[in-house]
Amino acid sequence: MFPTAFIYSSHNRSEEIHRWWIVERALRDPNNKSVLYLPMSMGSQDSQEYSWGTFRWYFDFFRKWGLEPRNFYYNDHLAQKDVDLFFDWVINSQVVILGGGSSILGRNRYMSLGERYYGDAGLFERLLHQRQDRGLLTVGFSAGADQLCSTMMGAVEADSHDSHGFGLAHNIMCTLHHDWGRDASLKQSAAYFPQNAVFGLPNDSGLAVDQGFLDSGNIWQIIEFVVDSTWDIANEQFHIKTRQGMNIDHFYNDGRKWTFNHGDKMVRVMSQDDQFQGAWIVLSNGQIIDYWSQNYSLYPSIEAILASH
């Protein structure tokens, strides 16, 4: 699977997520091996530099294979030519990563660059969707993951009047750095936002997402669940919940709970008005389960599901 959005939570630069889902995706193109890191969800210049540093050291290992890491800092006094470069990089980088920090602050900054310099507050979001249409990968880490969802959990928990996310993970919400004590928040969000699939992403785990439109006009979406336990530094094990047995929790909008394991998938078919919400769980062994009834499905494959809708 080559997702067009990857949203994840991690403590450090775990190998499964950062090498095999991010770096290798940039390296597979023979001509464009660029990865753009955006720390704009961090407030100050110092904190943006710190955020970039937590990724830069890892990316530097792969320069010898041609990886081209780059970053862009936000400030209130950017020149037009700098913003032109920023949007050029957003359009053309093989992989773009929206970094951690404040979901609301980062989203507002991304939107403000389009509004202040081009009179178009929706420019950044539109360019991300164009990347998705072209098959390019956009990654969200922590707050960045929140921003790539349709509804930002961080904004909901902060009682913000505007919880709009960029929607590369359509009708998805997630808690980041999830642990066992946050199930109530997941369950409540699933009930309040019934059109959304709500997931708890512990360190280190993520959702690899691809989506588009069927000939019928319905939206198709495939989610692959990634549970990463490769970060084995002894004094950091407390932070790595997946090494303590945690997987990816999910609550139905009726209160039922399901836990996804590494390699499981979910297939969703949604009408554009959200009136139809079909979903199937594909276990890592290939068995297909109807999401709503939790019975084994008669569909033999993911392709058959999509073809019938």
CA angle centred on 92, ends 49 and 167, rounded to 5°: 80
Buried b (16+ CB within 10 A) or exposed e, 223-253: bbbbbbbbbeeeeeeebbbbbeebbbbbbbb
Q: How many CA atoms lie less than 13 Å away from 188 in the CB half-sphere? A: 8
Beta bridge partners of 212: 220
Span 55-76, mean pLDDT? 98
Annotated domain spans of the chain = 5-307
What is d(CA 97, CA 47) in angstroms, rounded to the nearest whole number?
A: 16
Amino acid of residue 111: M
- Which of 166, 169, 173 is closest to 108 using CA atoms? 166
CB 179 within 8 A of CB 241: yes
Share the mean pLDDT of the chain.
96
Predicted pLDDT of residue 171: 98
Residue 23, pLDDT > 90, answer yes
Please name the CATH architecture into which domain 5-307 falls.
3-Layer(aba) Sandwich (3.40)
How confident is the model over 130-148, as pLDDT tens digits?
999 999 999 999 999 999 9
Predicted pLDDT of residue 237: 83
Residue 1, pLDDT > 80, answer no
Span 117-127, mean pLDDT? 98
Residue 67, pLDDT > 80, answer yes
CB 249 within 8 A of CB 261: no
What is d(CA 204, CA 10) in angstroms, rounded to the nearest whole number?
A: 4
SS (H, E, C) the chain: CCCCEEEEECCCCCHHHHHHHHHHHHHCCCCCCEEEEECCCCCCHHHHHHHHHHHHHHHHCCHHHCCEEEECCCCCCCCHHHHHHHHHHHHHCCEEEECCCCHHHHHHHHHHHHHHHHCCCCHHHHHHHHHHHCCCEEEEECHHHHHHECECHHHHHCCCCCCECCCCECCEEEEECCCHHHHHHHHHHHHHCCCCEEEEECCCEEEEEEEEECCCCCEEEEEEEEECCCCCCHHHHHHCHHHHCCCEEEECCCCCEEEECCCCEEEEEECCCCCCEEEEEECCCCCEEECCCCCECCCCCHHHHHHCC
Predicted pLDDT of residue 190: 96
Span 113-139, mean pLDDT? 98
How confident is the model over 70-99, as pLDDT tens digits?
999 999 999 999 999 999 999 999 999 999
